[in-house]
Amino acid sequence: MKLILASGSPRRRELLGLYTAEFEVCPSAFDERAVHADNPAALAGALARGKCLAVAAQHPGRLVLGSDTVVELEGRVFGKPADAADAARMLRALSGRTHLVHTGVWVSDGERDEGFVDSCKVTFFPIPEEEIQRSIASGEPFDKAGAYGIQGSAALWLDRLEGDYYTIMGLPVSRTVRLLHRFGD
């Protein structure tokens, strides 16, 4: 059964490519604004499920993988920043603090669906204002939850992490592969 990645994220494409080159990309048009959840981790799972099932409905009989990542600081969700001011606000809030990154992963074959949420604790050193501005000027924050990519500028700010590095990038590869295997892929 050919695999569909229900995400336009280049990072997810790259990470799924560690497992297989045999997949196509079909970003979901799922309306994320309609999703509400009890907590940020549940939100990541609900968003991943919504994206997965929206694409699965358009491709019966295909195996679909959906994923979504949210950044949480003290119960508040940091999604993708709306603009430069929002990106700066997020990075300043994360500076010198510990936050959580939750990535939801969902798979459907049209008959059944299953998923999980993986969480990682991330601590940043204090981020100098000039580095925040340089990151924003580069455009890096604008397509990433929490306004950063751990594989990008945030590598300069990372003090420590507890959990799966790939969860922060947007696809916990080893757990995702195990989930795909349960679907016979």
Query: 184's torsion region: left (phi>0), alpha (psi -120 to 50) or beta?
Result: left
Structural contact between residues 14 and 74, judged by C-beta atoms closer than 8 angstroms: no
Would residue 109 show up in a list of annotated catalytic residues for this protein?
A: no
Q: Which of 38, 68, 164, 185 is catalytic?
A: 68
Tokens of 134: 């340089």
Element spanning 143, H or E? none
| DSSP label at residue 61 | T
Rounded to whole angstroms, the Cα distance separating 147 from 33 reads 19
Residues labelled as active-site residues: 68
